[in-house]
Amino acid sequence: ERPSAAASGRDPLELLEHVFGYRAFRGPQQAIIESLVDGRDALVLMPTGGGKSLCYQIPALLRDGVGIVVSPLIALMQDQVEALRQLGVRAAFLNSSLEAREAFEVESQLLDGALDLLYVAPERLLTGRFLDLLEQAPIALFAIDEAHCVSQWGHDFRPEYRQLDVLHERWPAVPRIALTATADPRTREEIAERLGLRDAERFVSSFDRPNIRYRVEAKQNGRKQLLGFLDRHRGESGIVYCLSRKGVEATAEMLVGEGLNALPYHAGMPANERALNQRRFLREDGIVMVATIAFGMGIDKPDVRFVAHMNLPKSVEGYYQETGRAGRDGEAAEAWLCYGLQDVVLLSQMIQQGEAGDERKRIERGKLDALLGFAESTRCRRALLLGAFGEPFEGPCGNCDNCLEPPRTWDATAAAQQALSCVYRSGQRFGVAHLIDILRGSESDKLRQYGHDQLSTFGIGRDIDANRWRSLFRQLLAAGLLEVDAEGYGGLHLTAAARPLLRGEARFEARFEEVRRGRPGRDGAR
Ligand code: ADP
Ligand code: ZN
């Protein structure tokens, strides 16, 4: 039987050095540790890679009893426990991957006081049997990892997380720490509320990831653009996110065909294949993981050099989380988003046709709008991202596309008026492709069939090419002057905000969509 690693010192810094091999605490780590050691609750908001684990691992070693860590991620549990054991920490985990006999063994260790840290899945923790077992063991602290899983508005929602307030009821004297890298203020409040952490001390780190370069590009030929992007990252590890399973498979196949080391990952694949691909991504160099957002939560690979999005993510928080998997080692990394109007239409429809109630749909719609605003903005991307989390940052950051190559703008007032009146005159139910056909005066049967070749807006926008029109429509959507129909097929209608422009009382400044042709050199990612 190994003695507890805690025996090597009773001081946080000493443990940090002797057990974990680090010289100094990062950011708020020390304050958080002291708070828990003193028996106070803590709510920790720290970006991915910030060093959340030590915040409960060290106090668990310093306090009497075992630290109970609630984690929804089975794969991650295993990795953490292995790493801890190598450091001489007496750690174990309990989840559905264990055989009954192995689980029994861990439970005996728990009762014998032979554990410093025990990782447990929420559904197991919440069983009456396990809670009764816990009554018989001295507990150092409860750590609730990925605490945003308590939020039913997030995409990681875990209903069991909502019952975790039982910990406070049954062990009021045991300090609790909730940790998350999800920063939006709304989720923050929900965590505090749901987990009974209103009075917990809050530790909010800066969410800036200065080494990540943000870029957003309008989609024209997605495949070609992706290949151009990957060209800048030859031989590097990275993730390419697609919206659908089909998109994942097609993209992975295409990349393999181009000679790239790409692997697919989505929830529809057999579990063993998925696990294999994930393991290869973690252990091998230079793999491009093509995945849905099912991939990534809890992935701790420090040298992910890029995260590409081939579709619009669902929210700014999601985008931040997903791109946050790049550059955890602090070295230069790139987050690249390539999106088109079709994404907006598709996501709008997914929301409208989803099962969620009206209130939730309204929130999801708002999140999508915010992300669209981010994508179309000419402001510093970093300032926009951090602003969404309530963190003041003026910019320019010097490390995003808008700062590096300030977008040119043009006075699009007249064109915007034409676009809006075209929407109005055609009955506010047609999609962008059809509207552009009207504006550019295309000869098509569909147009004639609807009599749209007779409209006063027919052909008035011939001098503007289709790409420029698409870009303008996106910007009108982002500015909230147009909306995608709730039901139906991507039709657009005007909002009240369009009125001043139509009446000639407002101007509309639009960004020029630069078509990036050349392939920038390697220093482009510095
Ligand atoms: P998070 O859970 O916030 O994403 P982790 O706890 O996994 O972050 O820590 C991220 C990385 O930083 C890990 O490799 C960890 O060992 C390292 N780390 C954490 N704290 C320190 C520190 N004080 N000094 C050096 N490295 C640290
Ligand atoms: Zn910037």
ipTM for this prediction: 0.98
Closest ligand (CA of 407): 2
The per-residue pLDDT for range 204-246, each reduced to its tens digit, is 998 999 999 999 999 989 999 999 999 999 999 999 999 999 9
At residue 522 the predicted structure's pLDDT band, cuts being 50, 70 and 90, is very low
Closest ligand (CA of 54): 1
- Asked whether 478 and 484 are in contact (CB, 8 A), the reply is no
Residue 298 has pLDDT above 90, yes or no: no
What pLDDT score does 488 carry? 62
Residue nearest to atom 2 of ligand 1 (CA): 52
Residue 418 has pLDDT above 70, yes or no: yes
Distances (CA, A) of 4 to 9, 49, 109: 10, 27, 13
Average pLDDT, the chain: 91
The ligand 1 site (C-beta within 6 Å) comprises 22, 25-26, 29, 46, 48-54, 300
Report the percentage of the chain scoring pLDDT > 90: 73
Distances (CA, A) of 192 to 42, 45, 148, 390, 444: 10, 11, 10, 17, 58
Ligand 1 test: best mutation among 20, 82, 207, 211, most atoms within 8 Å of CB? 20
At residue 125 the predicted structure's pLDDT band, cuts being 50, 70 and 90, is very high
Smallest CA-to-CA distance from 252 within 286, 291, 206, 280 is with 291
What pLDDT score does 36 carry? 97
Could you tell me which residues are beta bridge partners of residue 214?
335, 400
Distances (CA, A) of 19 to 56, 87, 334: 14, 6, 34
What pLDDT score does 227 carry? 98
Compute, in angstroms, the gap from residue 300 CA to the centroid of ligand 1.
10
- Asked whether 481 and 381 are in contact (CB, 8 A), the reply is no
CA 518 to chain centre: 30
Residue 114 has pLDDT above 80, yes or no: yes
Compute, in angstroms, the gap from residue 396 CA to the centroid of ligand 2.
5
Instruction: Give backbone dihedrals phi and psi of 99, rounded to 5 degrees, phi first.
Output: -75, 160
Ligand 1 test: best mutation among 32, 44, 46, 54, most atoms within 8 Å of CB? 54
Compute, in angstroms, the gap from residue 383 CA to the centroid of ligand 2.
7
CB burial of residue 270 (10 Å; 0-12, 13-18, 19+): exposed
The per-residue pLDDT for range 92-113, each reduced to its tens digit, is 999 888 999 999 999 999 999 9
Ligand 1 test: best mutation among 20, 53, 87, most atoms within 8 Å of CB? 53
What pLDDT score does 5 carry? 52
Q: Angle, nearest 10°, between helix axes 128-135 and 100-111?
A: 30
- Asked whether 310 and 226 are in contact (CB, 8 A), the reply is yes
What pLDDT score does 184 carry? 78
Residue 517 has pLDDT above 70, yes or no: no
DSSP H helices in 377-450: 381-388, 401-404, 413-425, 432-439, 445-449
